[in-house]
Amino acid sequence: MADKNEVLRLLELAHQARRDLCKLCGMYSGNIHMGGDMSMIDVLTCLFHRTMQVGPDLVQVPERDRFILSKGHGAACMYIIMAQKGFFDYQEICDTYGNVGSKFGQHPCKTRLPMLDVSTGSLGHGLPLSVGMAASSRQKGRRNRVFCMMGDGETCEGSVWEAAMSGHALKLGNLVAIVDRNKQLMTSFSEDSIRMEPYADKWRAFGWNVIEIEDGNNMAQIVEAFDRLPGSNTEIPTVVIANTVKGKNVSFMEQQIKWHAGSLNEADLATALKDIDEAFEKQKEGL
């Protein structure tokens, strides 16, 4: 069982990240990919604040863990959690997001933000990149891990499965793929359109170690899952399948196709923040 105080610490960080994300969405005139941001935000919180050996002081350290946001449209969520970690200034994100010359745009750009491990945005590209990074770390004798966050819809891309084969063939136990299994694509529910189930079996068939999180928005379950990653010196790559809810904790966003991406007016922002606070209180009670 995960330590209760640690879970509470992470819950508070995830709660703050949700609030900060909604506020950013309220300030920005364009759309932000709120649905997928809110589904993966709890996992991302655990990764950056507990699981991964990363930080602004480690950017030049070869032994640091690597993070590849293969679902690059979740950049806003990542920026905010990285700001909590001290990589960025939250206010700068709010002041400049999506502007000409800004470092912070819809998809992560390493040219503008050198502390990122990669530039991403086009779906299905992250896992091959991660395989390359993991192979390089292996060859150099490092003990770090490479974490690759994908959306479940993204795994429709064939390149994901090419890399799944390579990760297995190269025996990359230092490679951890995470699937934000929110069961929605941009325009459909996955089981209505492309019928992904039995999903975990697909990864097992490719030879991967599968860790499923029944509720990928439950921090205790998330912590417990990532705490049992096999050692980075093992020979089988791991996929963590987090069953999540798109738009999690905002009543009018949850499982709504129209909330793949959007912007918040003042009234909606107030409702969103109220929903988030209420959900947080319930989560605390449930500990």
Interaction site with another protein (CB under 8 A): 62, 110-111, 117-119, 121-122, 124-125, 127-137, 139-140, 158-159, 162-163, 165-166, 169-170
128 versus 247: smaller Cβ distance to another protein: 128
17 versus 163: smaller Cβ distance to another protein: 163
Q: Measured from the CB of residue 177, what is the shortest distance to another protein in angstroms? A: 13
Q: Measured from the CB of residue 248, what is the shortest distance to another protein in angstroms? A: 29
98 versus 121: smaller Cβ distance to another protein: 121
- Determine contact, residues 26/264, Cβ cutoff 8 Å: yes
Q: Measured from the CB of residue 169, what is the shortest distance to another protein in angstroms? A: 8
The pair phi, psi for residue 199, each rounded to 5°, is: -75, -50
98 versus 132: smaller Cβ distance to another protein: 132
169 versus 205: smaller Cβ distance to another protein: 169
d(CA 260, CA 255): 9
Residue closest to 244 by CA, chosen among 157, 153, 156:
153
d(CA 130, CA 174): 10
Cβ partners under 8 Å of residue 211, min gap 6: 225, 228, 229, 238, 239, 240, 241
Where are the extended beta strands (E) located within the chain?
Answer: 66-69, 146-151, 175-181, 209-213, 238-243
Q: Measured from the CB of residue 131, what is the shortest distance to another protein in angstroms? A: 5
Helix, strand, coil in percent for the chain, rounding step 5: 50, 10, 40
Q: Measured from the CB of residue 52, what is the shortest distance to another protein in angstroms? A: 16
